[in-house]
Amino acid sequence: LDPSYQSELAQESTTKSWLEQATKPKTALLSGFHPLAIGDKLIYRSYQGVHCVGLGNSKPELVWEWKTDVSLDDLIRQRQSYDPTNQTVISWAQQYLSVAPSLLYDNTTQGTMSTDGAYLYLIEDIAVPPPPITPDGRAIMINRDQQSTPSVQLQPWIRHNRLTALDLAKEGKLDWSLPTIKDHESTEAPFTDTFFLGAPLPLGDRLYVLAEANAEIRLLCLDPANKGALDWSQPLCTVESRKLTEDPVRRTQAVHLAYGEGILVCPTNAGAIIGVDLLTRSLLWAHSYQELSDNPVPMVQAFPAGRGFRQYSVQPLTQPTWASSAPVIKDGRVVFTAPDGDSVHCLNLRDGTLAWKERRAGDLYLAGVYRGKVLLAGRDVCRALNLEDGTEVWKAETGMPSGRGIANATTYFLPLKSGEVWAIDIDTGRILGKSRSPRGEVPGNLIFHEGDVVSQGITKLTVYPQLAVREREISESLVKDPTNPKGLLDRGELRLHQGSLRSAVEDLRASLKHDLAADLQPRARAKLYEALAELLEQDFAANEELLKEFETLSVLPSPPGESDTARAAREHEQRDRQARLLRLLARGRESQGRLTEAFMAYMEFANLGRDELIALP
């Protein structure tokens, strides 16, 4: 279905160029941006800031937006201030594009937000994370012996990030942020040189968030109604290697907290996951997931000293092993994957003991725990493990994911790089259906909300109407008036999307015969053209009677008052349609043994593309 709303996430040409380069590798491209739906509002992050779209009307519209500092677009737009010599941010980005391109688009520390319904909480950080920093503030380049000194404007962002709260009742107006100006001026302030490791988890009237300062990770309890004032804090562990100023990968992978049965589960992305009793504010357990090696190097040390930890080896990362995901608490178990781990782990929630673990086998991310099954999305398969013992229940070949999916009571919806969303039965792994984008657009991270499907990828956010909801609305309109031309057009589009091509052709023809509004006629003819093309491509001989109608629709007449820009676009589309017609005709006649006619069509096709490349499906 055509989108009801779509937005480009990057505006600056340099940002777009970086993203284009970063997404060239033939790997799974998972965006770090995760949209939120709150009531009738959709809130999402871009490479500029935060945007709020109203979904309550028939056509979604932008309600408010808030620009963030040191976002990708902001770094480019203000580069004379941030990077006057072009030797810091630009150089860092070029380094990452060569060795770890996903750091530019899979930054879940920035891309993940949270809300308690009153405020929106997010992390602001420099969008191009600095390489390891020397004690005197110089950045060590990644793949050559080179150092750069960040500008005065960038120096504070090297040492900390910022937790920000926007007031939803005041159209996203800034309410408070940490660190405060006072923190910058005093070495005794509570948030001096602090990194917040992810968006906070709202529970009751408090916020819980992990923060790292001076190589120590602490659990903070904040009061959002009092400008984020610190209520209490609990030290969890120290980081003895891969500090945030030394590890851009860990800096961009969010730590997601989870809560259940009075226990707050705190990953660290630094080798350990810790359970905290919120009632007593005490550590219940600590579990290390790092693999043992012959030459162990300490990674973390828990508080109190020595509790539950041995010496573990940690290798520097160029890319995370698992894509970021939150721990899942279900039936007294905690299931989690860590960007610096190599297995999916299942722990007992009460004491943190290991129930089972399964090594990563081409898996990309933890898709969730549903109906007693742990779903894992991989490079070309989706599989399910038994929550009880970790044994594999089923495996389905899917192709490469393009985002994080979503589930309902019985079905998991997986977005794929092929431009499709597959519906997978959670119990059996059977493929229930495949929905493809009518424009060939690749879906991203998905959410369902009030009859809409929201997809946020690396470069675009798109809102589509849910098929079931849209189908019901169309059916109701046609029950009232079976010849309603707009209803016939909508049903024809829906049937085209579902692959019911013959039925789609009938509806689209009927819509054009029943006085369809003039502004909708080009859309109906374009959809009819697509339906006829697909039928001819599937079976030319069986659908040859459609060829004359297809030839007619391949011609785009010039409308009155056409501008030069519109004429150029129409002529370009006309050439593409003519090329598609000739290709279909040549292959069709060849399949029928009418070789002379096939040869003539091939010659026309060759002449058509003599001076320029022709786009073909």
CATH number reported for the structural domain that contains residue 90 in this entry: 2.130.10.10
Contact between 372 and 388 under an 8 Å Cβ cutoff? The reply is yes
617 in a domain, yes or no?
yes
pLDDT interval class at 90 (50, 70, 90): confident
Q: What local confidence, expressed as pLDDT, does residue 295 receive?
A: 38
Residue 383 backbone phi and psi in degrees, to 5: -135, 160
| 334, pLDDT greater than 50 | yes
Q: What local confidence, expressed as pLDDT, does residue 504 receive?
A: 93
Question: What is residue 461's three-state secondary structure?
Answer: strand
User: Do 430 and 538 share a domain, yes or no?
Assistant: no
User: Do 74 and 217 share a domain, yes or no?
Assistant: yes
Contact between 188 and 207 under an 8 Å Cβ cutoff? The reply is no
Distance in Å from the first CA to the final CA of the chain: 18
User: Over the Cα atoms of the chain, what is R_g?
Assistant: 27
Element (H, E) at 588: helix 564-591
| 218, pLDDT greater than 80 | yes
pLDDT interval class at 183 (50, 70, 90): low
Share of the chain above pLDDT 70, in %: 88
Residue ranges of the alpha helices (H) in 256-376?
A: none
| 145, pLDDT greater than 50 | no
Structure tokens at 129: 């994370």
Q: What local confidence, expressed as pLDDT, does residue 486 receive?
A: 92
Question: What is residue 550's three-state secondary structure?
Answer: helix
Q: What local confidence, expressed as pLDDT, does residue 495 receive?
A: 86
List C-alpha distances in Å: 587 to 537, 553, 566.
Answer: 9, 19, 32
User: Do 457 and 496 share a domain, yes or no?
Assistant: no
549 in a domain, yes or no?
no
Q: What local confidence, expressed as pLDDT, does residue 166 receive?
A: 98
Structure tokens at 351: 């004491």
Residues 6+ apart with CB under 8 A from 424: 382, 396, 398, 411, 412, 413, 414, 430, 431, 432
User: Do 502 and 582 share a domain, yes or no?
Assistant: no
Higher pLDDT, 374 or 418: 374
Sign of the torsion angle spanned by Cα atoms 238, 242, 247, 251: negative
Amino acid at 279: L
Q: What local confidence, expressed as pLDDT, does residue 94 receive?
A: 87
Question: What is residue 230's three-state secondary structure?
Answer: strand
Contact between 111 and 31 under an 8 Å Cβ cutoff? The reply is yes
Contact between 425 and 411 under an 8 Å Cβ cutoff? The reply is yes
**Number of other residues whose CB lies within 10 A of the CB of residue 155:** 12
β-bridge mates for residue 120, sequence order: 115, 166
Sign of the torsion angle spanned by Cα atoms 231, 235, 239, 240: positive
| 600, pLDDT greater than 60 | yes
User: Do 394 and 507 share a domain, yes or no?
Assistant: no
| 147, pLDDT greater than 90 | no
Distance CA 299, CA 240 (A): 5
Distance CA 504, CA 438 (A): 13
Q: Using the 8-state DSSP alphabet, how is residue 58 labeled? A: S
Q: What is the DSSP string of 157-181?
A: HHH--EEEEEEGGGTTEEEEEES-H
Query: pTM for the whole thing?
Result: 0.78
473 in a domain, yes or no?
no
User: Do 248 and 349 share a domain, yes or no?
Assistant: yes
User: Do 566 and 606 share a domain, yes or no?
Assistant: yes
Specify the range with the lowest mean pLDDT, choosing from 212-221, 270-279, 294-303: 294-303
CA 487 to chain centre: 33
**Number of other residues whose CB lies within 10 A of the CB of residue 518:** 7
470 in a domain, yes or no?
no
User: Do 538 and 417 share a domain, yes or no?
Assistant: no
Q: What local confidence, expressed as pLDDT, does residue 489 receive?
A: 93
Instruction: Please say which residue of 525, 544, 563 terminates a domain.
Output: 544
Question: What is residue 562's three-state secondary structure?
Answer: coil
Question: What is residue 463's three-state secondary structure?
Answer: strand
Distance CA 349, CA 468 (A): 38
User: Do 113 and 134 share a domain, yes or no?
Assistant: yes
309 in a domain, yes or no?
yes
Q: How many domains does the chain have?
A: 3
User: Under the phi-then-psi rule, with left for phi > 0, alpha for psi from -120 to 50, and beta for the rest, what region is 467?
Assistant: alpha
pLDDT, tens only, 256-268:
999 999 999 999 9
User: Do 504 and 562 share a domain, yes or no?
Assistant: no
Domain limits for position 429: 5-465
Q: What local confidence, expressed as pLDDT, does residue 1 receive?
A: 60
Distance CA 507, CA 471 (A): 14
Specify the range with the lowest mean pLDDT, choosing from 48-52, 103-107, 251-255, 465-469: 465-469
User: Do 617 and 536 share a domain, yes or no?
Assistant: no
Is the previous residue joined to 179 through a cis bond, with omega within 30 degrees of 0? yes
Q: Which of 263, 267, 291 is nearest to 279 (CA)?
A: 263
471 in a domain, yes or no?
no
Instruction: Please say which residue of 506, 522, 544 terminates a domain.
Output: 544
Residue ranges of the alpha helices (H) in 127-210?
A: 155-159, 181-185
Which of 373-377, 399-403, 520-524 shows the highest mean pLDDT? 373-377
pLDDT, tens only, 273-294:
999 999 999 999 999 997 644 3
Contact between 336 and 267 under an 8 Å Cβ cutoff? The reply is yes
Specify the range with the lowest mean pLDDT, choosing from 11-20, 83-92, 483-492: 83-92
286-368-260 Cα angle (round to 5): 45
Amino acid at 614: I
pLDDT, tens only, 457-478:
999 999 987 666 778 888 988 9
pLDDT interval class at 86 (50, 70, 90): low
Distance CA 441, CA 617 (A): 13
Share of the chain above pLDDT 90, in %: 59
Q: Residue 512, class by beta-carbon neighbours within 10 Å (0-12 exposed, 13-18 middle, 19+ buried)?
A: middle
Specify the range with the lowest mean pLDDT, choosing from 14-18, 311-315, 326-330: 311-315
Instruction: Please say which residue of 516, 544, 572 terminates a domain.
Output: 544
Contact between 450 and 466 under an 8 Å Cβ cutoff? The reply is no
Distance CA 530, CA 513 (A): 18
Higher pLDDT, 576 or 334: 334
Q: What local confidence, expressed as pLDDT, does residue 22 receive?
A: 93
Distance CA 331, CA 465 (A): 34
Contact between 72 and 9 under an 8 Å Cβ cutoff? The reply is no
Distance CA 531, CA 526 (A): 9
Residue 406 backbone phi and psi in degrees, to 5: -145, 155
Residues 6+ apart with CB under 8 A from 315: none
Sign of the torsion angle spanned by Cα atoms 535, 536, 538, 541: positive
Sheet arrangement for strand 5-8: 5-8, 460-465, 452-456, 445-449
383 in a domain, yes or no?
yes
pLDDT interval class at 438 (50, 70, 90): low
133 in a domain, yes or no?
yes
Q: What local confidence, expressed as pLDDT, does residue 302 receive?
A: 44
| 135, pLDDT greater than 70 | no
User: Do 524 and 573 share a domain, yes or no?
Assistant: no
Q: What is the average pLDDT value for the chain, to the nearest integer?
A: 87
Distance CA 60, CA 472 (A): 20
